[in-house]
Amino acid sequence: MTAPTHEKVLDSVVAPDHVVTADEPVIAAREPDTAHRRSGRWKSAVLTVLPPLVVAGVVVGLWSFITYVVLAPRRRFLMPPPQDVVQEGFLDRDNLSDILHALWSSAQVAFVGLAVAIVIGTAFAVAMSQARWVERSFYPWAVVLQTVPILALVPLIGFWFKFGFGSRVLVCVIIALFPIVTNTLFGLKSAERSHHDLLSLYGAGRWQRLVHLQLPGALPSIFTGWRIAAGLSVVGAIVGDFFFRQGEPGIGRLIDGYTQRLRSPELFAAIICSSLLGLAVFWLFGLLSRVAVGSWHESARPVESD
């Protein structure tokens, strides 16, 4: 008994008066489903925006509950209600001007420190990926630098390098360096051995393999390290500003001043702005990652559900 051929199965399914052409399946497959795509985009946008808004609403509700129910009226300065924070911290022009001015000062320190950390960390990671002895020599010290509490190093940095802009940048570099080194090194060493062998067969040297194979393949890991370091650099700028009280005041000194004067609404507003600065820098590097990496990497492709 012979198996039915493709033509016999097709004849049993399609009506006798219907003529099947070779172009018909291709045309059907290429018809754009504009409405489906548009609804999918709206669904994706809603699923992206709605969960953070829900969480924000829960946080504000819990905040108000603690302020008006848990705390007594005489202790309400410990956690002022959200409307007071908005009114005195953001709607008051003088207070908002002070917060934004201090935030810009800290942002400059954070950006400079992050740029220096990116250059130094990427250079060390490339050197360690090319020579095993370099990795064995310097990687343990990178781990040691990460494990030392930054608050213990800040006074020493001030004693050695004074208490100005350069010392604050150095704090940002120290705190942001390790994620860049580790993620970049991991990405550079993740290239498959078969790809190295293929380029070697075509006569590619170590530099050509680095430029054409390792660096492009390491881009997702590199940008992941940059995103982590971006948030840490903002933290370093604020920590350094707490201790180094020379030069233009940043958001750290402003937070310290609000704390000493018990100006809780302005204090909460300054903390919120500091968090938004770190979040904005994190999102900026995420956008740069999507532009540089595109959709070729697995991490950029959406997970399809059944």
* Sign of the alpha-carbon torsion through 175, 278, 166, 149: negative
Average pLDDT over residues 181-191: 86
Domain extent, residue 61, equals 40-68
Task: Calculate ∠ Cα 265-280-168, nearest 5°.
Answer: 75
For residues 162 and 248, membership in a common domain is answered with: yes
Whether 197 shows a pLDDT value over 50: the answer reads yes
pLDDT in tens, 250-264: 888 888 888 888 888
* Residue 113 falls inside a structural domain: yes
pLDDT in tens, 274-299: 888 888 888 888 888 788 776 555 55
* Sign of the alpha-carbon torsion through 55, 56, 57, 61: positive
CATH of the domain at 264: 1.10.3720.10
For residues 47 and 176, membership in a common domain is answered with: no
Torsion angle (degrees, nearest 10) of CA 129, 135, 140, 146: -30
**Count: domains in the chain:** 2
For residues 211 and 249, membership in a common domain is answered with: yes
Whether 182 shows a pLDDT value over 70: the answer reads yes
Whether 226 shows a pLDDT value over 80: the answer reads yes
* Residue 211 falls inside a structural domain: yes
Q: Give me the amino acid identity at 174.
A: I
What pLDDT is recorded for position 213?
72
Average pLDDT over residues 213-226: 84
121 pLDDT band, cuts 50/70/90, is very high
For residues 112 and 48, membership in a common domain is answered with: no
Task: Report pTM.
Answer: 0.74
For residues 58 and 165, membership in a common domain is answered with: no
For residues 53 and 102, membership in a common domain is answered with: no
CA 43, CA 245: separation in Å to the nearest integer?
49
Compute φ and ψ for 14, nearest 5 degrees. Answer: -85, 145
CB 112 within 8 Å of CB 164: no
